[in-house]
Structure 1
Amino acid sequence: MNLVPSTDVAAIDLARIDLSDPALFAAGDPHAVWQAMRQREPVRWQAVDSTGFWAVSTFDGAERVLSDHATFSSTGGVMLNMLGRTEPAQGQQFSATDPPEHGHIRGPLQRELAMRAVQQHAAVVREHVRDLLGSLSGSFDFATAISPLPMAFLGPLMGIPARDWPLIARLVAMSVAEHDPDTAVEGGPQATLDRGHRELFAYLLNLSLEHRKRPRGDLVDALLALPISAGGVVANCYSLILGAAASIAHVPTATLGELLRTGQYPTWAARRTSIPSAVEEAIRWTSPAGHFLRTATQDTAINGKAIAAGDAVVLWIGSSNRDERYFPDPHRLDPSRRGQRHLAFGAGAHYCIGAALARLALRIVFEEMFHRFASFELAGDIVHVRSTWLAGIKSLPVVGRPR
């Protein structure tokens, strides 16, 4: 996946593009495709077997859909791998529930994940990051090395022991990148997805049962206090882990890859007082959660295209966050960019519940990376995850030179 367009946009035939094909995101040029869509057909129908979805590529179109839960519901699932299937967590998982029920689940978790709450864990988190980065030098794969980071942040908040973090990371990869050859199991993508979900949900069920016996005052206990089923507790634990896995590892990796491509690592490393704004720009530019799915509850229209009740609508966040009408020079990773909202964390009632945690985590990662390493050199080919949802890099071979 090219993170900046490299194809002649005018030469792209949108009729030949399949946005449901993970190969486009593994080795293709989706940003060129999205740019062509924004210019020519900002809302277009994508057929998928006997069904399909409306693909929305612009900032205003995506923001409108995300902000209008009455017209565009989350209860039918929020990712493309649920297209044409029944969402089993409907009414129980905050990401697959609409207001007012959504607020009953989200409210207690929001308090646990507010910036004031997560700041209490900053010192422990920073120690984890220092230990991880401090062990690295010379030749190594940056993407592989920092893959434990999401659980280093979220694990302590959920009572998940460090020995289980690699297992959780593997099961999450199977659940969001079922087409990727490094996560696939015998039987193909659907078997990979089913096994990832089954084993991860079994782990989280056992975790919740342990918390019932020995409460720890963490996120799992907050969920157990809610009037939802055991399956609902598990589904919401899964949703939290999924969000952390998308942002905390993949934003630094993709950002570093671009800094090495453009030679801007020294510039970013020298601007340590500007890290909060640089982090926000990195989140916009990478947009690791590549899309959000919604289902129309009534006949409506987006950018003049008629949408029928029951139609699936997919918001391509990687495209929305590069919309030229909202972001000047949108493909440039610019740490001095100020004051422009992005949609990487969504919008409206379903705005990412872990946004404060992600921002804190990414700030610590960038601070410690710039403190630890004077420079990096790319030492091989960058390999992208084969996934329509996760806009991530799974291999970034580098030579790192400590200060």
Structure 2
Amino acid sequence: METQAASDRVVSATEFSLDTIDIISPDHYQKNGYPHAEWTYLRKTRPVFYVDRPRVDPFWAITKAADIKEISVQPRLWLNGPRLAAFPLDEGADGPPPELPLKHLLNMDPPQHGEYRTILSRYFTPRSVRALEPEVANITAKILDDVMDREQCDFVTEISSKVPVAVIAEMLGVPRPDWPTLFRWTNEIIGGGDPEFQRGKDANETFAQARLEMFTYFTNLVEERRKHPTGDVTSIIANAKIDGAPLPALELLSYLLVLVVAGNETTRNATSGGLLALIENPEQFRRLKSDPTLIKSAVEEIVRWTSPVIQFTRTATSDTVVRGQKIRAGESVCLFYPSANRDEDVFDQPFKFDIGRNPNPHLAFGIGEHFCLGSNLARLELEVIFRELAKRLERAESAGPLERLRSSFVGGIKHMPIRYKLKPAAAA
């Protein structure tokens, strides 16, 4: 997550040793936030950089927006399937261990990816998602009302985490009493390497337990929806068919798992990082409060600024060249989206937080075949949340140090204490 301190560090950074530069250690992300200084150096000196470190499966780091675009629009040359992301080996090198597979949109390749994406694509169009706006607004208002009479709270656990998990749970048809459990599972699946969320001896054990519990839960819910179909997303997936046959159990349950995790983690962290950016740039918050028409461009800038998904990998199917560098078949590239979203060749003053930025061709939702299926839903949620905050939040300031997630995959803020004053909804 970007902070003013990180921005200052970028300005002052001049040189790193390519032998020791760190862009993948979860401890580095937890302690320092995003390594923007390091990415800036790599964009200038080694935009296609081979990372070969102890206990890291080697990969080529891609830090320029143009190269990430070029790779992302060639899904047959660059596969998702073999390797989802670049993880240190002691974090469970490639995510889940071999005996705990997942098969979902994020690690599917053509033509299977298109077949599975089509199942829900019409439910995530701008028009379909916009119909959810009244419900998202009601959820947001209720959450703000619950903390209105206080002067201090943890913005993450009491506000930003509650809106997206409520929305995705409603869409899936998960009963309200089960929402906290759903939230816990997402923390353990994404943040299993973080001591706060770890169950068992390591990230893999944490992931395995959360996956097993979530799969068991949704197996029961799917059986119910097959007997008694409804209009919720679980029912749609449970009764979907590809080539005339129901979805296999692994693909079906993996589909639901990734919807829960992606539908919660990214919007939550964009919301937390977005408010942090507004606190650290109060002139931009005043600007948003005085001009509500800026809400859409503000959301795009918040998404660019926070870039919640740090990286995905692609694996070459044949020898190829990226920016003059030969990459052999079977080698992996790691696409660093936050770096692309600070690319000096794309953005004017990339380290300035500007809610009126236009154009804003960020890559926070990806590009090409794997462009985020839920991007319209995420935008809607962020529009509603920040529209309500702009109306009702009279003032806000940090009330203590924030705590970041120990992860080099998703840029998360776990805790962000704030002091604030909220207006009642009627007064706003």
TM over 0.5: yes
CA contact (8 A) 1:18 1:46 kept: no
The Cα of 1:51 is off from its aligned counterpart by 2.7
Alignment of 1:232-251 (within 5 A): 232-251=251-270
The Cα of 1:362 is off from its aligned counterpart by 0.7
Distance 2:303 2:99 in 1: 28
Distance 1:273 1:100 in 2: 41
Tell me the TM-score normalised to structure 2 length. 0.89
Show the counterpart of 1:390. 410
Answering whether residue 136 of structure 2 is matched by residue 125 of structure 1, we say: yes
Alignment of 1:270-281 (within 5 A): 270-281=290-301
Distance 1:64 1:305 in 2: 14
Show the counterpart of 1:113. 124
Aligned AA for 2:141? R
Show the counterpart of 2:392. 372
CA contact (8 A) 1:105 1:226 kept: no
Answering whether residue 156 of structure 2 is matched by residue 152 of structure 1, we say: no
The Cα of 1:191 is off from its aligned counterpart by 1.7
**Which structure 2 residue ranges, 5 or more long, are not aligned?**
424-428
Distance 1:168 1:59 in 2: 34
Distance 2:109 2:400 in 1: 45
Distance 2:56 2:281 in 1: 43
Alignment of 1:295-306 (within 5 A): 295-306=315-326
- The more displaced of 14-23 and 126-135 is 14-23
Answering whether residue 177 of structure 2 is matched by residue 163 of structure 1, we say: yes
Alignment of 1:84-95 (within 5 A): 92-95=103-106
Show the counterpart of 1:53. 59
The Cα of 1:286 is off from its aligned counterpart by 0.5
Query: Residues 154 and 47 (structure 1 numbering): CA distance in 2 closer, same or farther, change over 3 Å?
Result: same
The Cα of 1:103 is off from its aligned counterpart by 1.3
Percent of aligned pairs with the same residue?
A: 30
Match of 1:293, SS state, is: strand
CA contact (8 A) 1:75 1:87 kept: no
Match of 1:301, SS state, is: strand
Answering whether residue 33 of structure 2 is matched by residue 33 of structure 1, we say: no
Distance 2:100 2:332 in 1: 17
Match of 1:356, SS state, is: helix
Of 283, 289, 312 in structure 1, the residue corresponding to residue 303 of structure 2 is: 283
Show the counterpart of 2:426. none
Show the counterpart of 1:138. 151
Aligned AA for 1:37? L
Distance 1:50 1:157 in 2: 38
Of 265, 271, 277 in structure 2, the residue corresponding to residue 252 of structure 1 is: 271
Of 215, 220, 231 in structure 2, the residue corresponding to residue 201 of structure 1 is: 215
CA contact (8 A) 1:289 1:389 kept: yes
Query: Residues 201 and 340 (structure 1 numbering): CA distance in 2 closer, same or farther, change over 3 Å?
Result: same
RMSD (CA atoms): 1.9
Query: How many residues in Structure 1 have an aligned counterpart in Structure 2?
Result: 402
The Cα of 1:101 is off from its aligned counterpart by 1.7
The Cα of 1:307 is off from its aligned counterpart by 1.1
The Cα of 1:50 is off from its aligned counterpart by 6.5
CA contact (8 A) 1:14 1:33 kept: no
Distance 2:18 2:58 in 1: 15
Aligned AA for 2:52? A
CA contact (8 A) 1:266 1:375 kept: no
Of 318, 326, 332 in structure 1, the residue corresponding to residue 338 of structure 2 is: 318
Match of 1:16, SS state, is: coil
Query: Residues 366 and 14 (structure 1 numbering): CA distance in 2 closer, same or farther, change over 3 Å?
Result: same
Match of 2:52, SS state, is: strand
Distance 1:107 1:341 in 2: 25
CA contact (8 A) 2:136 2:163 kept: no
Answering whether residue 56 of structure 2 is matched by residue 19 of structure 1, we say: no
CA contact (8 A) 1:2 1:30 kept: no
Alignment of 1:46-85 (within 5 A): 46-48=51-53, 49=55, 51-81=57-87, 83=93
Distance 1:393 1:86 in 2: 29
Match of 1:366, SS state, is: helix
**Which structure 1 residue ranges, 5 or more long, are not aligned?**
none
Match of 2:58, SS state, is: strand
The Cα of 1:13 is off from its aligned counterpart by 2.1
- The more displaced of 112-121 and 314-323 is 112-121
Distance 1:332 1:104 in 2: 40
The Cα of 1:83 is off from its aligned counterpart by 4.5
